[in-house]
Amino acid sequence: MHTYIIRVRGFHLDLYGHVNNARYLEFLEEARWDLLEADRGLDWWHEQGLAFLVASITINYRRPAGLGVDLEIRSSMRRLGGRSAVLRQEVVNLATDEVVADADVTFVVICQETGRPVALDGALREAFGGDPA
């Protein structure tokens, strides 16, 4: 599991003083970038001619989060298929340990030259932590 912490700032909030729903997508994206950088680094991805591409996101908003709250984004592989995978991301309020949002992010890895999805095998499969069913 990969974790990433974000503190809620004023510009993250909506009219009601809660994190705006669109901001959660940004928080999740920021955590995915950190995940990619933490393992092999962005240089590895560029050297391989590969890019991480989100195909869909299903997100659930569970509880509000307000100003000054520290949120931990917990990312783990839910399913690793032949050409696509699903990353599970949970946004947790660190003060209460409550899940405030969760998402399943379906993604593919594409060849930057052709724009086509590549097989998730070998070094790529290893980069994503093995073989979750």
**Which residues are part of the catalytic machinery?**
14
- Nearest Cα to 129, choosing from 36, 46, 64? 36
Strand, helix or coil for residue 55: strand
**Tokens encoding 56:** 């869909």
**Phi, psi dihedral angles at 16 (to 5 degrees):** -95, 0
Calculate ∠ Cα 12-18-22, nearest 5°: 50
Q: At 22, which helix (H) or strand (E)?
A: helix 21-39
Angle at 114 between CA 107 and CA 85, to 5 degrees: 15
